[in-house]
Chain A
């Protein structure tokens, strides 16, 4: 109704409303729901299996399941649409084997559809759910589960009735991250020829040149997300679970042979489809199309990528820590505001965010330059919007939700009683944070830093639009080649993004095993 009333007041909007917008909105909703649903299934189940069963290869799977995170979604989309397309190698081989001549001779699923897009996007996004759910399961108070078992619950029942509800806040945060990433996406769905609200935003802004309508559409997108997030928070309002004995012995369910087969098959399939297969394709392309000279050319872009991602990860994590602790420890009425507000950057498509930053820093830059001019100083140029400052800022805004979510779910695990303990012992706030909260939060801080780092390495639209001269990153390299339909030659950059993203994942995994 709101849409319809808006439609009557705006020509372009009413045109879109009468033609393509209802389809776009339907696609957006279906895509969002299915990606969240699939990611929840993939992520929660694999986390539960890894934590609560004796599935074979557990130690390896534990971190292999994180690897799809290092894969840029647009890349996986490109690879999979190519692979499963009618003209792709799989259908070609099938046709050759069975001597089929045309698409009418057989049935094969169409990858360029909503279900295809949902599945592939879920395959790269489920590790968010997996990661946060796994941490939650591991840090749960195992006594509660044991109590459930004593009351006569089966292992399955105690998981669904005790462990899962306890992990719900963490899983909900992960799900909202997945939802935001999905709805803000443009490049990935584009490969699947699926049109969503983001398509409409770009069309109105770049095609019709109507920024106001584009803004209105972006607001609809934000409203959808806001609605979902608030509804979820409402649904679990008043629930609060904390554990003060996190390092308990975790009960492991012994699997039968058949169960073992299915469960390890499930986990390996996720790793295979989300990481190993696309990575193998990239390696094959790199062997065919690249050489050492190309690798040398990628040194500088790699350093640039690492540099901006490092800054962004560090700043976003510090801010998240600040906001999270402020929210926890302050009694200010507005204490929720900073962390809630900063969380929505993730739902904004990268290009739109970049534009918003240009709109903010552009005038500031002008002010600085005009000021310099009025004092007859040399004008400094565009020091905010024309340097890597803008890129780092964009990354921090865009990925703050990830850092906030991870750290606040870590903070929620710390019992409130601990906040008061050091105070009664005479330690000051700084001492308390240093001695108590920060050590307890160390895993969450590492995870937050890692996630923002990996996301920043992959990010494309904002860095593309905001970068200064002679500043190439790995993702820009890939984009240049993809947009000229030559991913093969960009395979090496893609491998580098993945490998450089893997370094902190592996390092993180090791340091977690040490603690």
Chain B
């Protein structure tokens, strides 16, 4: 038995050397592929929290205009972590996000570099960019309150979600979704922690069902008379109207812009920043400036039904038809500071349970 064992170990060692050799060969070939790939000139690499197919039309146009090729990776969870681990050898040049909190996270972890130019500063209102120019908003989206047409036209504020007259009538997606966390953060900025917690608790008591599904799913639930009121981002309204099957849901609701008589509706942004160690920083700068150009902003607005961050570019015809609205003027950077507190309050109210 002992013999067999020793023999086996020798044999194992041979196998291991063999495997090691193979791994080395594989690695060498990988590195070859990789280095040939990074040597290609005039490229820009984008890490995107936003689905690739939504930004591809923009990048195609950019490539057409400048000849610079755009490579994209789309991911959500852990993107910042990947960037941090890659450190100074990271291939990333530009980061695209769909929510203010990711921009702040990237900034706080020192993963962005400041870049400013007159083009950027002129195009983007100051409340939608970082004070130190490390990130910029590209589009804005409102956190709207949708209401069933059967209620008639209503005038509604976020505060009203806690009003007991809506008991059993409200639907929402998870309280911990980034869009809802940002809304709660804006409530903290406006009312302080204690009042926001009370608001959350009463809001939860008004829910027709446990928070679940997507923003569109809530409008569907209104259509099915499960509830009358829901929270949802503005662009989903446009997307539902454009979808054959979902149009009936959207036709049954009004899109309301909350808090018009006081601080204004809560607005979130999709945005961009340059990676700290961007290897193609010249191309990256060109891409950033392209993304705030009138052409690109127009395209952005048309394809995704969002509001262009430029005040001199009109939203799409459909979006414009929902009317003008007043947005909360507090800088997003200030609102985003309350993010962690917001998450804690949502846990404390057991909002999702």
Contacts and interface: CB of A to CB of B under 8 A. Distances in A.
Given A366-B89, A383-B31, A102 B225 contact: yes
Residue with the greatest number of chain A CB neighbours at <10 A, chosen from B91, B224, B350: B224
Given A362-B85, A387-B30, A381 B343 contact: no
Contacts of A203: 176, 343, 347
Nearest to A311: B26
Contacts of A481: 51
A386 interface: yes
Contacts, number: 173
Contacts of B217: 85, 87, 485
Contact of B30 (A195, A331, A389, A476): A389
A329 interface: yes
Nearest to A464: B75
Contacts of B216: 485
A430 B343 CA distance: 60
A429 B34 CA distance: 41
Interface size class of A (residues with CB under 8 A): 35 or more
B2 interface: yes
Contact of B87 (A207, A362, A378): A362
A87 B77 contact: no
A465 B85 CA distance: 12
Contact of B45 (A85, A362, A383, A469): A469
Given A203-B343, A332-B5, A358-B85, A480 B11 contact: no
A388 B35 CA distance: 14
Interface stretch (B66-74, B122-130, B253-261, B267-275): B66-74
B221 interface: yes
Interface in A458-515: 461, 464-470, 476, 480-481, 483-485
A269 B71 CA distance: 46
Interface string B210-243: 1111111100110111100000000010000000
A504 B340 CA distance: 47
B8 A429 contact: yes
A220 to B, nearest CB: 17
A376 B88 CA distance: 17
B4 interface: yes
A281 interface: no
B151 interface: no
Contacts of A195: 352-353
Contacts of A20: 347, 350, 352-353
30 contacts: A15-B344, A19-B350, A20-B350, A20-B353, A23-B353, A112-B210, A207-B176, A208-B340, A329-B4, A330-B5, A332-B5, A351-B77, A358-B86, A359-B85, A365-B89, A380-B31, A380-B34, A381-B38, A382-B89, A383-B27, A388-B30, A423-B4, A429-B4, A429-B7, A429-B11, A464-B77, A465-B75, A467-B73, A468-B34, A469-B37
Interface of B: 1-2, 4-5, 7-9, 11-12, 15, 26-27, 30-31, 33-35, 37-38, 45, 51-54, 71-79, 81-82, 85-91, 105, 174, 176, 181, 209-217, 220-221, 223-226, 236, 340, 343-344, 347-348, 350, 352-353
Given A102-B225, A483-B51, 9 more contacts: A20-B353, A87-B226, A329-B5, A358-B85, A382-B91, A383-B31, A385-B86, A419-B4, A469-B37
